[in-house]
Amino acid sequence: MRIYLMTDLEGVAGVIDFENWCRPESRYYELAKEFLTEEVNAAVEGFFAGGATHVTVADGHGPGAISPKLLDPRVELLRGWPRGWPLELDGSYDAVAWVGQHAKAGSEFAHLAHTQSFRYLDLSVNGVSIGEFGQLAFCAGELGVRCIFGAGDEAFTKEARELVPGIETVSVKRGLTPGKGDECTAEEYMRRNYAAVHLSPKEACRRIREGAERAVRRAISEDFGLVRMDPPYERVTKFRPYEGQPWPTLSVESHPESFAALMNMPYDPKPTT
């Protein structure tokens, strides 16, 4: 079984906030990368124990957040997607998994929730609200690749289970902030969802390793994890006010055949009325 493992940083246990942990200039950025890579290694260990034969680790955090020095030597590391979506995923893979994933913009009780950036208020396709997880999940479905495992904050795991019935999930922290935060500007929303309760990094890795092994064993014997959306496709994206753009904007695009092609279309935001 060949597995494509997408990673991000904001959904990792012990990554406390965006300003101090998630940027290259942040004072704890190298420690955050270490925490993520340890969670990835735990998932990889579980995948191989469950029967996987190959794992590609995709470094999906904006400026990069995998430590190649610490990464399990059995995997390949992918960074950069010259053709855009589906981010170098193809039909040679049997399954997609996620580690360090955060919930989509507007999620209640989430930690560091956003979609691509903190500017997004919501992104939906054919009326289905999705975040970064959903975008890749539907691209995978278009290729016939199943989604079998996801680790991140509790709000993300709820989002994943609602979108992909049967997916194996592991929660490593839970956000404490109620409400969606739709009233916030991008700058305000970035700092809105900092309150959370975290597992220790070691306990998070233990649970991820166990969950990853379960996911592969289940995927070998059970039929789950394929999520599809029928064409044509329409993407509607609502953007928050942000510095230099003091009003909400809306962008609408459509594609007759391909979900991935729709994701690659540029945005054309216009002021909402």
| pLDDT tens track for 7-56 | 999 999 999 999 999 999 999 999 999 999 999 999 999 999 999 999 99
Q: Is residue 244 scored above 80 in pLDDT?
A: no
- CA-CA distance, 133 to 98, in Å (whole number)? 8
Nearest of 154, 137, 142, 68 to residue 98 by alpha carbon: 137
User: What pLDDT is attached to residue 245?
Assistant: 82
Phi/psi class of residue 112: alpha, beta or left (left: φ > 0; alpha: ψ in -120 to 50)? Answer: left
Predicted local distance difference test score (pLDDT) of residue 243? 82
Q: What is the pLDDT of residue 273?
A: 64
- For 173-201, what is each residue's pLDDT tens digit? 999 999 999 999 999 999 999 999 999 99
Q: Average pLDDT, stretch 235-254?
A: 93
Task: Determine what percent of the chain is predicted with pLDDT higher than 70.
Answer: 100
**Pure H helices in 111-185:** 132-143, 154-163
Domain region containing 203? 2-271
Which CATH number does the domain housing residue 237 bear?
3.40.50.10780
Mean of per-residue pLDDT scores for the chain: 97
Spatial strand order of the sheet with 249-255 comes to 128-129, 120-125, 233-239, 249-255, 270-271
The 3-state DSSP class for residue 183 equals coil
Compute the residue count for the chain.
273
The secondary element (H helix, E strand) that includes residue 237 is strand 233-239
The number of domains in the chain is 1
Task: Supply the pLDDT for residue 112.
Answer: 98
Please say if the pLDDT value at position 272 is more than 90.
Answer: no
Query: Could you read off the pLDDT of 87-130 as tens digits, one per residue?
Result: 999 999 999 999 999 999 999 999 999 999 999 999 999 999 99
